[in-house]
Structure formats: structure tokens, C-alpha cells
Structure 1
């Protein structure tokens, strides 16, 4: 992603989706375990009561009795052996110890097993904990209590509550309950009554005994809440922790990259201009690091240029200033007016040379250090060449300058250029060729559908290939025949190179068919405006 904000939002969205999926899976698994435990608690007393009753019955009466109570409880019971149960010896011992085992068959059904005497098990499939199951369990408990005297029932029921059931079961006086008189009348007629406590999310079940004024109370039984507060709080904390961790990971990576950029900027501010930042990526920080590297390179180049210009300018000014000082001494010592005028004329030429040098330096500095005001317009470049050639023919006659006519059609002769700067670039190339040519130079213009080209050839000594790159450096002069004796300040070709840079083109040097050097300018015909 190219945007740092999209990366953060994408990461957070991915984290949210992942956390939501994990939370959903966790809630499903946890609720599955809770549902199994809840069913185990609810049916433990029922199965243990059935098992204890079955163990007291003769073998022949067990199956009919189980079928009868299976219909009452809506739980199909059957006796099975250990081999048929699929339990190994360790699992069977654990079942003997725990008293009951619940295994979820699917989301709504559970297989419940409880041990009988010997290696026999009582097995039943519980589809749901319904009112029928609760009322059947209460009826079975009522039948069992009727075997005991009234005085022993409370003690027997307390023992059952502690050893068999997972919820309270006890005898209670009607006055100790919240049952209405109408509900108490219904209980005396043999009905069963369920009392729901909305606040506590529990239910209590009552039934009466025909020979006892007390009521059997089963409960309060907790209702299974699939989304309890503690579970939701845990899931919420998990979501917040996951999001916080994701935000930390996303922001930490960006913070490390920004700190790296900050350290580089600090080093640069302290004078370490060679420092660069190596941060990859197409996001905002990556682009910022690229901009920093470009800025650092530009500033370093400008500082190097400044030193180079100070060194070059001080060197170039030394000669004309020395000549002016010497000329002033000669003027003071002149005995005749003719001698004084001759010295003043020489001093005037030195001042003109200084003026030209300042103009070259200002032009070069404007092109090199900043963004000059370039105004692209459609111009006939061949006409600009003709104008430059005419100007140089008027200034000198030592070298023959030939303007090779352009044979291309008029539309291609027009290109997007800044006429003033293009005139200056061609003028510098022709002037440079006039200084070094032996007798002849040629200037020609050519163009294709996309590019334009200007070639300036001379028949001078040429330039060695090893010096082709150096020739465009500021204040540089080559050895041998191309020396200061030919004039110039070493800025002309540097100005040409920068003009071509701002025209999105390049300046080149090569060998000329005339035997000397060929300087070429190449740039696109159409500029982006």
C-alpha cells in the first residue's frame, strides 16, 4: 500500500476480522463445554436416581421399567456392557469414580452414561433439558420418598441432594415459599409448579406429597446463559488486547523508520553531509526518505559547488585584478597622454573581462543552484542557430563558420524551448569551437518525431575520450592546446550542461568528422508544462 494510513487501516481491519473469527470460535467452543457441563449437572441426579432404582429391581423388570420412565422423562434408556460402550479400562474406572459421563453428539444431543453394578452401564440420549425431564425427575424422586416414613424423608432427601444431585433438593413448608394460594391448591391436587426468578436467572420446581404437608423443592436450577457477563468481559478484553497489540506492531515499525530518519537528519544538521537513509517502501515514510536523500544530495552538491565557485572565482579574479593594479601603476608613471590613454584602454578591457566573468558566474549560479524561470514556447531552432552564426561571423573572421541548412519539414523544426537559454547554449558551443578550431567549424540542426539535436563540429585538436566528462565541469580547462591562452573562464560548457538539464535533455561530446571535437545537444521536442 502506498498510503501509510491505508496500511494502518488495513492492518486494523485484518486484525478485527481475525479477532472476530477467533472470538466466535472461542465462544462456540466455550459454550460447547459449558453446555456439556450444564447437561451433566442437570441430568446427574436423574440418571443416578434411575440407576439406583434399576439396581434394586429384578433383572426381568428392569427393561420395562426403563422403557416406562424413558417415555416419562423423554430420555431413551438402555443397559449396555463395558465392551459395547466403547470405553477402555481407564475410562471405565473414571466413570465409576465420577458417577456420570456426558459426551456431546451434536449441538442439541448428548450421550449420558452412568455405572450400574458390575460391568453394566446405563446409557441415555438427552436431546434437551425440558420441562418433561424436570417433572419426570421430580415424579421419580416423589415415588422414591414415598417408600420412607414421613420422619425420615427430610434426612433421606438431604443425602440424595448431597450424593446424587448437583442442585439443592429438600422439603419445605408452603409458608416458606413465594407460591400463591392458588398455586398451592394446584400442588395439593398433584400438579407440579415451576417458579421462575428473572433477576437470578433461576427456576425452582415444586410438587406435593399426598401424606405430607411439606413440598418437595428442586432447585433453584441455574438457566444456561450463552453470553454471560464474565465471558463477554473476557472476549472484550481479548479484542482490546489484540487491537492494542496490532496497533503497537503497526506503529512500532513506523516509529523505528521515523527514528532512523530523525537520526540521519540530526547527523546531517551537524555537518555529516554524506549521511543517507536506506528506507524502502512506497508509503509516505519511504517517499519521505527518498526526498531526504535527494535533498541531502542536492545540498551536498550545492555546498561543493559553492566551494568550487569560491575557489574558481578567486582564481579567475586574480589575473584581471593584478593587471588593473599594474595598469594603475603604469598610468601614474605615464609621461605622455598617448601612453596614459593606451594604459586606460587596457584597463577598460580588463574591466570588461571582469564584467563578463561576473555575468558567467551569475548565469551559472542561477542554473545550478535554483530553479530558473524557464518559459517553453514553440520556436524554430534552426533560425536560432542562424542568428548565433551571424553574430559570431561579425565578431571574428579567423575561423570559417558554416551553418548547414536543415532539410526537414517546417513542423519538425519547431520545438518547445526557452529561446533565451537555448540561444545562450548554442552561442557558448559556437564560441568554444571558434577558440579551438584551426580554420573551420560546422553547425547543424536535426530532429525526429520526438527529439531535437544540435551538433557543433570543429577541426581543432579535439578532446581525449578520458576528458569527455570533465569538460563540462565548472572552471575546468584541458591541457595541451586547449588552455587558458584560448580565453574563457571554464564556465561556458557547464552553463550549456545545466541549460540542457532544465530542458530535460543532455549535452555530449564526441569525435568530429572534421578531425576535432563534436559537441551535441539533445532534448525532447515537446516538453511537459
Structure 2
């Protein structure tokens, strides 16, 4: 950061100094040194003054007048200039210039004019200003270009990384103030991409290779003699539990790779909720209450994954609730809110965020005995994030936990 600030300060300081020096040189040589009628007339007046005297006054003409010193009421400063032999410049109402000087050893005055006023330098001044600003912009562009190229590299790296691809090696500008940062981020992105690729390989390996010995173990247990049946049943239950846990872990791991294939359509959230309630009512004896203010709430999303998220929350309420589950759906102009409450023991406030962490368990009784592996709510949070929504937990008026799934509504 210090290198960036110093380089910017040096670039701006150098540009301003160069532009000021060049502008002054152009102004002095192009504007002040440019000949005009008044400057030329002063040179003629000096030559004329040196060549005449009181005995050989020139004849009056349209551009030359002969006056007496007392014919004009001169200001003290003007009279002093004339008496000292200087050339007095005065202007009439039309802006024309008159050059007046005193004939040596005489009270006569010669007046040259009228002379057109000098051309305004305002246009030239604006041209120089615009050129200065253009040069400043060009010099700053030279400083910004390497920085801009490195920023484009960072965007390219992040885009490839979000797609799980290893970014191709690209050259960075050694003149950029963030070249070191770009190189470090590129190395970090390469490491992350390799970790993602290794995770994919691990998931595939677990999915195929671990199931095979489990299947053989289940078959071996089924073939045990009858006298060992009780012990075999316990072992078979452990195998089934291992299979369920592996399925849950693989489902969570695959979520990282499925986001790129997510197909989003307009869905009726009410229909998804009704479908999950119908499924749960066939498997539980708890009373399920549904409160919804609208018969149709359209949200953009993927039907499969939103159904999975709602199912996980509803099953969680069924596991830890005692006798009642209350589901309510409400919405405003921009969002839909699905509240799922139970009358269980609830979740301490200090652990509200912990329940969404993968493999997090509040206690053993709330995990193994109920068949949980600490991944269901983590999957819900991830799916909600995919859909630009959120999932939070709080206290329910029923005495247990209250989960709120927030999703953006489809724009009408």
C-alpha cells in the first residue's frame, strides 16, 4: 500500500512539474513574443522621435496628429512621462490605442493612431490549459495502465477460481504498484484450485471405493449363522449408520460442485411447503399447523434444492419437537419468510450460529439418538446462500427453536 501511494504521489508531482514548465515556455514564446500592431507602432514611434525636432515637424495625416502640450488636460503621471521623453499609450472609447510623445526641445506633441487593440490571448490561454489537462491525463494513464492490467488479472483469477478451474499463468507488469500482490494472489489461487480438485477426487473416491467394502460387510453379516444373529444385527445397524453418514457427507461435499449447474426457475413456495408437509404428516404423529397469508408466493430458485432445504428444517423440527410443529409463511414486496417452529427444548442463543457449522452437534442426545450428523442445517444455509437468501434460528413462542428461511421474491 505504501508503494502504491508513493508511486501515485511521484507520478502526479512529476506530471504537474513537467506540465507547468512546458506551459510557461509555450506561453512566453507563443503569446508574449508574438508580434502585434501596437508593439510595431511603438518601434516606429521611437524611430520617428529620434529623427525629428522642433524645426522639421512632419505633416499631419490620418495616422499622425500634431498637438500642443497645453491642448490636453494630462494627468500628472501622463505629463511626467511625456516630459521625460517617454511614449505614452492611451486608449479611446472604442478600445483603439494612441501613442503620444513630446518633440525634443519643444512643447509640441506627436500622436500616432488609432491603432487596433492587441488581439485577446484568451483563446490561446484556453488552448494551453486544455493541452495541459490532456498531457496530465495521458501521464496518469501511463501510471494507471499497469495497475489496471493487474486488476484485470485479479478478476480473471477470481472468475476461474469460482468455477473451480486453475487459472492459467499470465505475465504481470513489473511497473505496477501492486505487482507483488498480484503474484501472491495468483499463487494463493493456484493452491486453492488444487485443493478444490483434490476435494473432488476425494469425494469421488469415497463415493465409489468406500461403498464397496461396506456392501461386502453387509453381505457377510447377513450370512452369519443364526446363533450370532443378535450380534450381527447390531453390527448391521452400525453399517447402515455409516452408509447414511457417508451419504450425508457426500451430499454436502457435492454442493460445492453443483452450484455451477444450478437451474433457476420461478417456483411457488407455497406448493413446495405443502408438499413437504404432506410427506412429513405420513411419517410423524406430531400436530402440524400451517399458517399462510397468501395462496401463492413466487420465488426464483431450484425446485430440488429448495425442497431439500425445507425438508431438512421440517425434519429437524420433527426430531426435536415434542408434540407440535408450527409453520408460517409471510412475505413483503421483496422477500418471502418461511418460519418453522417446534415445542422442544430450543437452542441456546450462544449456539445459534454453531448449528449451521458442518458436523456441529449441540450434544450427543441431539445427534446420534435422533439420527443426525450435523450436516442438515449446514446444507440449508448453503442452499439459502445460493438463492441469495438466508437462514437464521431464534426462540419460538412454543418454547423450542424457530428457524426462518428468507428468500427473495421474483420480480413482477
Match of 2:403 in 1: 519
- Supply the distance in 1 between the matched residues of 2:214 and 2:361 (Cα, whole angstroms): 24
Match of 1:246 in 2: 136
Q: Does residue 112 in structure 1 map to residue 2 in structure 2?
A: no
**Could you tell me whether the CA contact under 8 Å between 1:324 and 1:347 is conserved in 2?**
no
Match of 1:422 in 2: 306
**Could you tell me whether the CA contact under 8 Å between 1:75 and 1:125 is conserved in 2?**
yes
- Supply the distance in 2 between the matched residues of 1:422 and 1:128 (Cα, whole angstroms): 89
Q: Secondary structure at the match of 1:389?
A: helix
**Scaled by the length of structure 2, what TM-score is found?**
0.64
**Scaled by the length of structure 1, what TM-score is found?**
0.52
Q: Secondary structure at the match of 2:373?
A: coil
**Could you tell me whether the CA contact under 8 Å between 1:463 and 1:511 is conserved in 2?**
yes
**Closer, same or farther in 2 for the Cα pair 1:24/1:265, shift >3 Å?**
closer
Match of 1:361 in 2: 252
Q: Does residue 122 in structure 1 map to residue 10 in structure 2?
A: no
Specify which of 380, 383, 387 is matched with residue 496 of structure 1.
Answer: 380
- Give the root-mean-square deviation of aligned CA atoms: 5.0
- Supply the distance in 2 between the matched residues of 1:354 and 1:465 (Cα, whole angstroms): 27
Q: Secondary structure at the match of 2:256?
A: helix
**Closer, same or farther in 2 for the Cα pair 1:402/1:417, shift >3 Å?**
farther
1:301-338 CA distance string (max 9 Å, x none): x999999x89x99xx99xx99x969968x959955576
- Supply the distance in 2 between the matched residues of 1:72 and 1:407 (Cα, whole angstroms): 105
1:490 offset after TM fit, Å? 1.9
**Could you tell me whether the CA contact under 8 Å between 2:312 and 2:380 is conserved in 1?**
yes
Match of 1:5 in 2: none
Structure 2: runs of 5 or more not aligned: 1-21, 149-175
Specify which of 276, 279, 286 is matched with residue 388 of structure 1.
Answer: 276
Q: Which structure: larger Rg?
A: 1
Match of 2:173 in 1: none
Q: Secondary structure at the match of 2:69?
A: strand
1:160-179 CA distance string (max 9 Å, x none): xxxxxxxxxxxxxxxxxxxx
Q: Does residue 79 in structure 1 map to residue 68 in structure 2?
A: yes
Specify which of 308, 313, 319 is matched with residue 435 of structure 1.
Answer: 319
1:70-89 CA distance string (max 9 Å, x none): 43574211232799474489
**Closer, same or farther in 2 for the Cα pair 1:501/1:338, shift >3 Å?**
same
- Supply the distance in 2 between the matched residues of 1:488 and 1:45 (Cα, whole angstroms): 112
**How many equivalent residue pairs?**
347
1:427 offset after TM fit, Å? 0.6
1:350 offset after TM fit, Å? 4.2
**Closer, same or farther in 2 for the Cα pair 1:79/1:26, shift >3 Å?**
farther
1:267-326 CA distance string (max 9 Å, x none): 21243x8xxxxxxxxxxxxxxxxxxxxxx9xx98x999999x89x99xx99xx99x9699
**Closer, same or farther in 2 for the Cα pair 1:128/1:489, shift >3 Å?**
same
Specify which of 267, 289, 310 is matched with residue 404 of structure 1.
Answer: 289
Structure 1: runs of 5 or more not aligned: 1-18, 55-65, 130-225, 227-233, 274-295
**Closer, same or farther in 2 for the Cα pair 1:393/1:326, shift >3 Å?**
same
Match of 2:18 in 1: none
